[in-house]
Structure formats: C-alpha cells, structure tokens
Amino acid sequence: MSTKVIELKIDDDDDGENASRKKLSTTIKDIVLIGICFLILIIMIIVLVIMRSLTIQLLALIIISTVAIFLVICIFSIRLWMKLKKQNIESSQSKKKNIGNCIVNAISIGLTVLTLLLSASVMSPLNLGYSSFATFVVFLIYMSTIIWIITLIVYILIIAISFLWKKSYSIRQQLSYGTVSFFIGSFLICSLFMLIVAVTINSALSGFGLGLALALSHTLLVGGIVGAILYHSKTVKIICSVLAAIGCVGVCLILWYYLIDGYTMKIDIIIPSERFPHNLTNDPSLNGNYSYGFLTYGSGFDNRIEYGSKASIITPTIDLSSIITLSSFNKQYFKYNESALPLNGQIWYPTNISNGPYPIVLMVHGNHISTESSEPGYEYLGTMLASQGFLAVSIDENFLNVAPLYSGTGYGRMSKIKKYDVSFSRRSQFIARALIILETLKQLCLWNTQEKNQFYNQLDLSNIGLMGHSVGGETIVIAYVLNKLKYLPDYPTSISLNNYNFGIKALFSISGTDDGYTPLGHSLESHDVTMFGIHGIYDGDLSSFLFQAKLKNLQFTSNSSNYNFKASLYVHQANHGQFNTNWGRYDLMPGVNQLMNVRPIMTIEHQQHICKMYMAALMNIVLKNQMQYRILFEDYRAGLTYLHHTNYISTFQDSNEIVIADFENYDVTLGTITGSTINATNLLLWGSVYVNVYRSAMLILQPVENLVGKYAINLQNSINGSSIRFMIGRTPEGQVDNLTVLLWYENETFDSFIVHVLPALSKRIFKLSSTEYVTAVQTISLPLLSPVIGLEFVVNDTNAQFLIDNIVVAK
C-alpha cells in the first residue's frame, strides 16, 4: 500500500516537473519571439535610415510597419510579464487545441509566404533605384506591413466580440486569439492583393474573386497536409488528403492563370482590295546614305555619367519653379530641383558637314517610372533619321516622370490659380515638359551660331519636326502652340515665351494622351501644321485612341500658304510600350502586367518597323518636300509590301480639301458647306452620334426594315476636284459589309461605286476582361470625273449600320 502511495507521489512530482517544464518552455518561446521582434524592429530602423531618400509614401509605410511591430512587441512583453507574475495559472492546453493551433498556424504561415513570394516576385522588377535585393526587401516590407495591420485589426475585433458576445467562449477554448487573427489576416491579404492589382484594369470584383479562390485553395492544401499528419483517425486522414489534393489543383490552376501571358486569339486580317492605290516604290524606313555619329549633352554635374562627366556639350539649367515642384524622391535621385532643371539629351547626327544644314527632329518620351531611362528607347528612330540626313534628338525628361510608388510632380507658384480652374489636374507637368522642348530648341539655335561648336551652321531651324510618345505625344502639340505665344495663357506673370517662334512644321504622336493641358477649360486647339497620330489597338495603358481629339481640333486656315495634312493609323496587335525599346511588351505597372493578355501582340521588331516607316515618310514629306510618300498616309495599302501583315485603320485629311459635311450641325437637314441640303429616305437612323474612340460626331445610317435607305447631299454649286473622300466604318452591330455610293455630276451624269466596309476589330487586352470591338473607320477616296453637284449613300439591308464622317472634295 505504501509503495503505491510512493508511486503516486512520484507521479505527482513528475506531473509538477512536466508542468514546470511546459511553463519554462512557453517562457523561452515568448522570450525568443520578443527577441525576433526586436531584431525585426532594428532591421526596420536600419532600412529607414539607409533609404531615407525614398518617397513619402514608402517612408510612411516603413514607419507604420515599425509602429505595428513595436505594438506587437509591447503585447508580447505584457503577456510574458503576466505569465511570470502569476505562478499558479495552469497553461497546459488540450491535445485538440494544440492540433487546431498547429493547423491554423501552418495555414497562416503558408498563406503569408505565398502572398509575400507572389507579390515580391511580381513586383520586384519595378526598379526603385536600388539594388535588386533592396527592391525585394522593400516589397517584403510592404506586404508584411499590410499583414501586420490586418492581423492587428482582426485581433482587436476578436477581443471586442469575445467581450460583448459570451457565446464566443467555445472559440476561445479551441484556438487562441492570436492564432485566429493571424489566419484571418493572412487569408484576406491574398484576396486584397489581387483586388488592388485588378482595380487598375476595372476588374476589381474578378481580381478579388481570383485572390479569394487562391487563398481558399491554399488553405485546403496546407491545412489538409498538416491535418493528415497530425490526426490519428484514418477517416480524418483520408478527408484531409482529399482536401489537400483539391487545394493543390486549385493553387496550380490559379497561379497558372495568373502567370500565363494570355490567350491565343484568332485574328482575321481583312484588307479591302477594290480601288487599290499606287504602291510605294521603296521602304522609307531603310537607312540612308549619310554616315552618322552620336553624342550626349547635359548639365555636366548629373550623376548619370552620360549627362555628367561624359557629356560632349554642357548645357545650362532652367528655372521652372513657377510651374512645378519635383517629387521628393526625384530630387534626391537626380540631384536636381525645380529651380535648376537640366537640359539633357542624346543626339544622332550626320557627320558630313558639306551637306548641311540638316532638318531637326526632336523626340520626347512619356511618363514612365523615373528610375528607368526612357530617352534611349528611341535609338531605332534616331539612327534611321540621322542616316537619312536629319539631326535627331531624344530629350531626357525622366526627372518629371512618376517616382516609385507613384509620387508625381506638384505645382509651383501657379498653384495660386488652381482653385479657380477645375481642369487644372496635370497642367503643370505638361507645361514643364513642353517648355523643356522649346528650351532645347533654343540651345540648338545657340549652337548653330557658335563657331567653335561642332553644329555651327549645320542646323536648319526653319524645318523642325517633333515626335512624342504617350504623355509626350500631347506635349509636342502644347509645345507647338506655346511656340507661337508671348506669354503662358494660364500664368503670364512669371513665364515669358518671347524667345521662341521656331519653325516647327511636323508633329508625330505615338499613343498620345489628351486633355492633360486644357487652357480656357477646353481641349487645346492648333492650326496649320502637319500632324500624325499612331496608336495600338492592344494598348493597355491608353485603351482608346485619345489623340484623335487633337487631330479633330487641328484646323487648316487661309492664314498659311503651306500644304498641311492630318492623318492617323490605328494598328491591330500593337501595344503602348513596344514603340519604346526600354518600355517593352507590358504596358502597366508590375503586378497588373500579369493580368494583361499579351500573346496576340506582334513582336517589337514588327511594331517598331511600322513606326519607322511612318516617321521617315512624314519627316521626309514635310521637312524635305519628298511628296512621293504622301500616298502612305492617304491609304496604308500603298505600303503593304513593307508593312507587317495585320489590320490597319487609317484616316487622312489635308489643307486643300473642301468640306461638304462634317455632321457637327444641330440642323440635320443642312450640310457644312453653304447652301447644301440633306434628304433622308427610308432610314431608321440618320442622325449624328458621338463616337468616343475617334472623338468625333459621325453620321449613323440604318435603313427601315425591308426598304432601301437613301441619304443624299445636294450642293448649291458644283465643285471641281480630283476625288471625293470620306471616313466610313460599321458598328459592331452592323452585319452588312458594303453599301453603294452615287456621285452626281453637273453634266447630269453619275458614277456608282460599291464600297466595302471593314468590320469592327476585336481586342481583349486583359485576361479578366471580355472581348471588346473597335469600330474600324477608314478613309475612302472615290475619283471624280467631272465637277460634282451631289452624292448619295444607298443602304439596302436591314442589318446594315454604318458610321460616316468628314465628306470632302479633294483638290
């Protein structure tokens, strides 16, 4: 009997010893956890000190992360102090609770690691101006901070719920608050990450669903594996294994969908064959016979050596503090401020002095991440132009570009008028970009007069062309307008424009924006210049051909004796970024890029070759009077021998044409030309509608069912010319591809033409979006045999629906 008692005492002693060990083990774990938190806190502080030149947003992010970790350290410290003080509190947990905690913690850690790796692997290509390792660390901090914050919020909510709702005792018995909080925070962060990424492409709900499905699949995968290991019941093991398999398949499928480059889409190439124009006899993009050289110019003290110590020509800085303020990041990164901005750039120039002076082509990039140089991306244009006898300049405006985490330029002293103008949004940036172009031209003018400068008497400042990409595509129009003014319309107090008035004659816009600068509260208007815009239908940054508005607002007046034209080219399978070699195949920020459907996009070589053809043709027409290339702008089919095989939509108007109808009148019975009248017969639709992609009002035609619809324009006086031109397309709903056009002559004869109309072209820019259709509005030219007195469109099918615009007589 005594032996049994002794044994019981020994067991009790063992239990007491085990309990003490458990308490000691728990204490050691807490101490280790606190130590780790302190270590992370120290690392955060070091990062904060080293990266003090980061943007305000990123600094705030790191500070919040530091505060969050400090709060966690305080919570664990208080918890440890309470445990050490209360020696008699039982801390042992049931086996069921231990297993539950293990499963939930494993899932939480797995979800956290998944989210961190997903975000870091996708986002880390974004260059923050530091090493790749530092960039990776920054995004780990970014995502970790969000997880910390969400977990902390959930933790507080659970405590509040348990205090107010007594029935939550069962949760408290099974799992700790911290475990549940960590799980919920980790589960939500994956969905929120995908939500934030998808918001940019207006697919927030789809993105959130994709993230939720990924989090759920990962929960099943990790939870099933851990459950199968820890539970002893055979039935539970089988169930957990099945759930793990389902989760594994889900994770693989979702990540595969997220990481693939898109879908293979069938694209039908449709090229109208009737009235085929004359073909170009040579490819205008081929290099010419001029040998050429390359140099850079800059401030001389730039931290980028090509504009610093290795700059061939030193240029002064300019003061734009009345217009803008640079972001704090760009000030630190580029070592400039708005009071002393550099004039930097790259020049490709013909080396044969005897053949000068040479026309000038200035090229300006758009808004890209500021730490990635954009101006070298147009080398393919610069070398071609130099070999053909142009001086090509690519201007550096990276310091005006968006900083990492999207910190942009602010407003200078002109912000005083901001409160009076609701259209002020991005005005300062566009003005600054345009003034840098004009100040660069001023420098070229100076070099042309300096005997010791290598460009002395080599520059033809009466023949200047401008090329701009994206934001730059709108900037060149602003520069052209400001070039002719004495003062800045918005803020004449500090900005004088007296020393400009250069001979800018050609504007070439690549994927240009619109309405970044709206003086007087409306779109910028321009006059008497040759303007061309090219845009990709698969442009992920600017999904619509915004620059059409600038073409629409270009007017040809009698004040100019020069011949000018305006034209556009909408290219199927072309995107935004491949026009710049450094921007590449993906048009948006890292992360969102993974949701883009880039598989249908043509290669960068094909896309740049199209751009080279039209760039060379435009500059040779306007600046060298080589008019044989004009047919390429009148009808893209003239260059099919050299163009990539895809769909093109081209439009053309010139300063010699007489406008018969532009469909901008409120009175739909009158044409644009004086004395013209309109008659409509058997038409269900025959009014003016605004077509957003072309930024223009157009005539829509649809006949009454089972009747032949007719739309006739009768002129008061006959007009003599070489051809009738008009723009025509069919809506996505239009099922008929042809209509008849009758031309009535003053000698009472007529011509009849059957015009075939391109269908709307399909595009699917994002994987999460549905297929969209772009109306293919094409310029058609019909020959005139005699002076014309009227014309008539005949539509004889109920399923037909056509859009028509800008009916003119070409001289």
* The pLDDT of residue 35 is above 90: no
Judged by average pLDDT, the poorest of 276-280, 350-354, 669-673, 749-753 is: 276-280
Average pLDDT, integer, range 196-224: 76
| 726 falls within a domain | yes
Q: Is residue 178 assigned to a domain? A: no
* 232 in a structural domain: no
Last residue in a domain, options 613, 637, 654: 654
Q: Give yes or no for a cis peptide into 357 (omega within 30° of 0).
A: yes
Quote the tokens at residue 335.
Answer: 């070592």
Average pLDDT estimate for 63-74: 57
Rounded Cα distance between 39 and 49, Å, is 15
- Cα angle 326, 332, 335 (rounded to 5 degrees) comes to 85
3-state secondary structure of 803: strand
Higher pLDDT residue, 94 or 302? 302
pLDDT at 54: 45
| Alpha-carbon gap, residue 555 to 662, rounded angstroms | 13
Q: Give the domain extent around 664.
A: 659-810
Q: How far is CA 502 from the centre of its chain?
A: 32
Residue 210 exposed, middle or buried by CB count within 10 Å (0-12, 13-18, 19+): buried
* Confidence band for 719, pLDDT divided at 50, 70 and 90: very high
pLDDT score for 51: 47
- 327 shares its domain with 403: yes
- Residues 745, 611, single domain; the answer is no
Same domain, 636 and 667: no
What region, left, alpha or beta, does residue 130 occupy, with left being phi > 0 and alpha being psi -120 to 50 degrees?
A: beta
> Residue 382 maps to which CATH number?
3.40.50.1820
> Is residue 163 over pLDDT 70?
no
State the residue for tokens 């889409």.
265
Query: Tens digit of pLDDT for each residue in 126-162?
Result: 444 434 445 555 555 555 556 656 666 666 666 666 6
Cβ proximity of 573 and 602 under 8 Å: yes
For residues 511 and 509, what is the distance between their CA atoms, to the nearest angstrom?
Answer: 6
What is the C-alpha separation between 300 and 307, in angstroms, rounded?
Answer: 6
- DSSP characters over 66-120: HHHHHHHHHHHHHHHHHHHH-TT------HHHHHHHHHHHHHHHHHHHHHHHHHH
pLDDT at 370 > cutoff 50: yes
For residue 121, what are the CA distances in angstroms to 125, 161, 259, 576?
8, 37, 11, 24
Q: Judge whether 261 lies within some domain.
A: no
Give the lowest-confidence range in 152-161, 168-177, 277-286, 513-522.
168-177
Q: Which residues contact 299 (CB under 8 A, 6 or more apart)?
A: 307, 308, 311, 314, 315, 316, 317, 342, 343, 344
Domain boundary among 614, 639, 654: 654
Q: DSSP for 754-798, please give it.
A: EEE-PPPEEE--BTTSPPEEE---EEEEEE-SS-EEEEEEEE--T
- Give residue 360's pLDDT: 97
667 and 557 fall within a common domain: no
Q: Which residues pair with 698 in a beta bridge?
A: 689
Give the range with max mean pLDDT: 20-29, 364-373, 467-476, 758-767: 467-476
pLDDT-based confidence at residue 92 (cuts at 50, 70, 90): very low
What is the domain-level CATH number for residue 764?
A: 2.60.120.430
Cα–Cα distance for residue pair 160/610, rounded to 1 Å: 64
| pLDDT (tens digit per residue) in 686-696 | 988 988 877 88
3-state DSSP assignment of residue 243 = helix
Whether residue 663 sits in one domain with residue 581: no
Total domains in the chain come to 3
**Does the pLDDT of residue 665 top 80, yes or no?**
yes
447 shares its domain with 557: yes
Residues 386 and 514 both lie in one domain:
yes
d(CA 754, CA 273): 12
Strand-pair partners of 506: 465, 530
The DSSP letter of residue 704 is P
Q: Which CA distances in Å does 427 have to 89, 273, 514, 662?
A: 67, 45, 12, 31
Residue 157 belongs to a domain: no
pLDDT at position 418: 63
Q: Is the pLDDT of residue 481 over 70?
A: yes
Round to whole Å and give the CA distance between 522 and 515.
Answer: 8
Range 437-447 average pLDDT: 95
Name the domain boundary from 654, 689, 723.
654
Closest Cα to residue 495, out of 398, 395, 417?
Answer: 417
176: in domain = no
Length of the chain as a residue count: 811
Q: Is 519 helix (H, G, I), strand (E, B) or coil?
A: helix
pLDDT tens per residue across span 497-532: 777 989 999 999 999 998 888 887 778 889 999 999
The model's confidence at residue 237, banded by pLDDT at 50, 70 and 90, is confident
Residue whose entry in the numeric block shows the structure tokens 């011949």: 563
pLDDT for the residue 2? 43
3-state secondary structure of 26: helix
- pLDDT interval class at 596 (50, 70, 90): confident
Do 409 and 511 share a structural domain? yes
DSSP string covering 52-63, please? TTS-HHHHHHHH
Could you tell me if residue 187 is inside a domain? no
Return d(Cα 631, Cα 638) in angstroms, integer. 6
For residue 334, which of 372, 367, 361, 294 has the smallest C-alpha distance? 372
Give the pLDDT of residue 578.
Answer: 95
**CB 698, CB 728: distance < 8 Å:** no
Angle in degrees, CA 424, 426, 430, rounded to 5:
115
This prediction has a pTM of: 0.81
Same domain as 663, residue 650: no
Query: Is the separation of the CB atoms in 70 and 41 below 8 Å?
Result: yes
Whether 637 and 683 map to the same domain: the answer is no
For residue 91, the model assigns a pLDDT of: 45
Instruction: Judge whether 62 lies within some domain.
Output: yes
Residues 470 and 347 in one domain: yes
Query: 723 pairs with which residues across the strands?
Result: 783, 810
- The secondary structure element, H or E, covering residue 10 is helix 2-50
Which of 224-238, 242-256, 521-535, 749-763 comes out lowest in average pLDDT? 224-238
pLDDT score at 11: 46
Report whether pLDDT(104) > 80. no
Strands 313-314, 358-364: pairing kind: unpaired
Closest Cα partner for 400 from 316, 343, 476? 343
Query: What pLDDT score does 253 carry?
Result: 82
What is the overall mean pLDDT for the chain? 80
Which of 212-221, 415-424, 490-499 is modeled with the greatest confidence? 212-221
Mean pLDDT of 2-30: 49
616 in helix, strand or coil?
Answer: helix
- In DSSP notation, 557-609 reads -TT--S--EEEEEEETT--SGGGSTTT-S--S-TTGGGGB--TTSPPHHHHHH
Q: Are residues 530 and 599 in the same domain?
A: yes
pLDDT top residue among 772 and 142? 772
